[in-house]
Amino acid sequence: MSKLRLGVLASGSGSNLQAIIDSIKCGNLPCEIAVVISDKPDVYALKRAELHGIKTETVQSKTFQNREAFDTELVRILKDHNVELVVLAGFMRVVTRILINAFPMRIMNIHPALLPSFPGLHVQKKAIEYGAKFSGCTVHFVDEGIDTGPIIIQAVVPVNDNDTEETLSARILKEEHRIYPCAIKLFAKGRLEVRDRRVIVK
Ligand code: GAR
């Protein structure tokens, strides 16, 4: 069976990228990472890719006039590498319809909260401050809203009374590393069907 070609977009440490790499290496994920793209130079995500012999590209937003021009360049690189599924792994930019139309229901994102609660940024802190008793993470397809696309998988973790942003983030991140490869595997095996807002796992 041919391997699904992934294009991973990251802006930071890339621990989710690492979880995907590890899953592929141990034969759990029938995929290959065709390219890792970062909007920031010198981030550890790029280093992780290089250490595993994966091609990397850096595309910096300051060299583009607007978000659409930036996304046009992303699409060019992803298509050049014959990417079939785009995986946002700590990619800290809002994507435009240029990218979404080029990969309809073929872009996944991981978010460190239980959507639709706490979309946006700094959501672990927001969950603590709100007094939520549980939080978690969500893998979803990307649409034009901010963290609004159809939900594929979620994992729940408790919020403890003595949690700080750091301790809760670490507990959530552990679950992210577990569920992101699972969601990608379901996609790779053709087991995800999107019906309106709902993702059915076949
Ligand atoms: C992860 O917690 C991910 O859910 C979050 O950034 C972190 C990246 O960590 N993504 C977002 O907040 C997207 N809005 P990583 O670089 O170690 O994978």
- Residue 69 to residue 64: CA distance in whole angstroms: 6
CB-based contacts of 16: which residues, under 8 Å, 6+ apart? Answer: 10, 89, 90, 110, 176, 177, 180
Q: pTM higher than 0.95, yes or no? A: yes
Please indicate whether residue 14, judged by its CB atom, sits closer than 6 Å to ligand 1: yes
Instruction: Please give the chain's pLDDT, 202 residues, in tens.
Output: 689 999 999 999 999 999 999 999 999 999 999 999 999 999 999 999 999 999 999 999 999 999 999 999 999 999 999 999 999 999 999 999 999 999 999 999 999 999 999 999 999 999 999 999 999 999 999 999 999 999 999 999 999 999 999 999 999 999 999 999 999 999 999 999 999 999 999 9
Residue 122 annotated among the catalytic residues of the structure: no
Q: According to the CATH classification, is domain 1-104 in 3.40.50.170?
A: yes
User: Which of 17, 43, 173, 184 has most ligand 1 atoms within 8 Å of CB, for mutation?
Assistant: 173
Helix, strand, coil abundance in the chain, percent, nearest 5: 35, 25, 40
- Residue 141 to residue 108: CA distance in whole angstroms: 4
Please indicate whether residue 12, judged by its CB atom, sits closer than 6 Å to ligand 1: yes
Domain definitions of the chain by residue range: 1-104, 109-202
- Provide the token pair at 131: 């007094």
> Which atom of ligand 1 lies nearest, measured to the CA of 123?
12
Please indicate whether residue 10, judged by its CB atom, sits closer than 6 Å to ligand 1: yes
Q: Which of helix, strand or coil describes residue 47?
A: helix
Q: Based on the number of CB atoms within 10 Å of its own CB, is 123 exposed (0-12), middle (13-18) or buried (19 or more)?
A: buried
- Provide the token pair at 62: 């300051």
> Which atom of ligand 1 lies nearest, measured to the CA of 176?
4
**pLDDT, position 2:** 86
Catalytic residue from among 111, 122, 140, 177: 111
Q: Which of helix, strand or coil describes residue 58?
A: strand
CATH of domain 109-202: 3.40.50.170
**pLDDT, position 48:** 98
- Let me know if the fold of 1-104 is the same as that of 109-202: yes
Strand bridging mode 107-111 / 151-158: unpaired
